[in-house]
A = this chain, B = another copy of it.
């Protein structure tokens, strides 16, 4: 049955980020709608942000296109140039390779939700704009590094 049972979809919480970044993702959860519907060619997640939560560290993708539609409440999109308030129905696109990092904050007093779609590149690097961190994903395996490519081993002063 192609209609996705949102109520029966496992709620994913937590983060694969190393600390102290994982803890910063408290209040964020998501439903893997694409997986639930048997899709393999792109990812579709419905992300819920409790008041005060953020969607991710601010980042950009080397190889993967990303699309977001806010579906509930209000999210603040943060990029290099500043902030944009987005409300239900507002959409944003982040083409692969554009180094202007983004994330979404819920600064409101109510729950916010957005749908996010991302392609699945065989090799991907996401770079986190505001900290010395990036993630390399290759054949489904993820590795965190500093921005100079060496393995991540805890927060350090910028080299």
Contact = CB atoms under 8 A, between A and B. Distances in A.
A65 B35 CA distance: 12
A119 interface: yes
Interface string A67-81: 101010000010100
B117 A2 contact: no
28 contacts: A2-B79, A2-B93, A2-B102, A3-B77, A3-B86, A3-B90, A4-B92, A4-B93, A6-B90, A33-B67, A33-B91, A33-B93, A34-B67, A37-B67, A37-B92, A39-B65, A39-B67, A39-B93, A41-B96, A42-B42, A42-B67, A42-B119, A44-B67, A44-B91, A44-B117, A67-B117, A69-B71, A71-B71
